[in-house]
Chains A and B, each alone.
Chain A
Amino acid sequence: MSDALRYRVIDEPREGPLQRFALPPVLVFLVATFFTPWGFLLVALNSLALGGPDRNREIGLVGLALTVYFAANALLGLAVRARLLDLRPALYAFDAAIGIALVCLAFAYVSQYRTAELRQYLRQQG
Chain B
Amino acid sequence: MRPYALALRHAEALLAAGNWAGAVEPLRDALTAAPQEAYPHLLLSRALRQQGRLTGARYEAERAVEHAPVWPAAHLELAQVLLAQQRHDAALASVDRTIEMSPEDGFAHLVRAKILRARGKRAEAQASLAQARSLEPHAPAVMAEEGYAALEQGRMDVVEASGREMLSIYPGDPDGLILLGHAQLARGDVEEALRLALSALAQAPTDLDALFLLASVKMRKNLAGGLFWRWNRLLVKLGQAKAIFFVIAIFVAQRWAILASEDLGLPAGVDTLVMVVYLGFVVYTLSASAIVSRMIAKEVSRVRLNPRF
Q: How far is the CB of B159 from chain A (nearest CB, A)?
A: 32
Please provide the chain A residues from 101 to 126 with a CB less than 8 Å away from any CB of chain B in the complex: 102-103, 106-107, 110, 114, 118, 125
Tell whether B152 is near chain A: CB-to-CB under 8 Å: no
Q: Give Cα A98 to B35, complex, Å.
A: 46
The contact of A9 among B44, B249, B252, B286, by CB within 8 Å, is B44
**Pair B252/A10 contact, Cβ less than 8 Å:** no
| A102 & B248 in contact (Cβ 8 Å cutoff) | yes
Identify the stretch in A41-49, A69-77, A89-97 within 8 Å (CB) of chain B at 4 or more residues.
A89-97
Contact with B along A16-33 (1 / 0, CB 8 A): 000000000010001001
CB of A39 within 8 Å of the partner chain: no
Q: Does A1 contact B (CB under 8 A)?
A: yes
Interface residues on B, range: 20 to 34
A110 to B242, CA, bound (A): 13
The A-contacting residues of B in range 253-306, CB under 8 angstroms, are 255-256, 259, 263, 282, 286
Partner of B240, one of A11, A54, A110: A110
10 closest pairs, A vs B, by CB? A11-B56, A99-B252, A7-B31, A95-B255, A10-B59, A11-B55, A7-B32, A106-B244, A7-B28, A6-B32
When A1-B32, A88-B259 are in contact, do A54 and B55 touch as well, CB less than 8 Å? yes
CB of B252 within 8 A of CB of A96, answer: yes
A contact residues around B247 at 8 Å (CB)? 106
- Can you identify 20 A-B contacts, CB atoms within 8 angstroms? A5-B32, A6-B28, A7-B29, A7-B31, A7-B32, A9-B48, A9-B53, A9-B60, A11-B56, A11-B59, A92-B256, A92-B259, A95-B252, A95-B259, A98-B252, A99-B255, A106-B244, A110-B244, A118-B53, A125-B21
Q: How far is the CA of A99 from the CA of B253 in the complex (A)?
A: 10
Contacts of A15 in B (CB 8 A): none
A interface residues, Cβ below 8 angstroms from B: 1, 5-12, 26, 30, 33, 53-54, 88, 91-92, 95-96, 98-99, 102-103, 106-107, 110, 114, 118, 125
**One of B55, B249, B259, B282 near A10 (C-beta < 8 A):** B55
B1 at the interface (CB under 8 A from A): yes
| A-contact 0/1 string along B3-25, CB 8 Å cutoff | 00000000000000000010010
Q: Is the CB of A53 within 8 A of B55?
A: yes
With the chains together, A98 CA to B60 CA distance in Å?
37
Chain B hits for A12, CB < 8 A: 56
Bound-complex Cα distance A88 to B260 (A): 9
Q: Which residue of B lies closest to A1 (CB)?
A: B1
Residues on A with beta carbons closer than 8 Å to the beta carbon of B55: 10-11, 53-54, 114
Interface: B245 (CB within 8 A) = yes
Q: Which residues of A contact B1 (CB under 8 A)?
A: 1, 6
Which of B29, B53, B255, B282 sits near A98, CB closer than 8 Å?
B255
- Chain A min CB distance to B303 (Å): 19
Counting CB contacts under 8 A, is B231 at the interface? no
Give Cα A7–Cα B55 distance, bound, in whole angstroms.
16
Give Cα A10–Cα B1 distance, bound, in whole angstroms.
Answer: 20
Contacts of A92 in B (CB 8 A): 256, 259
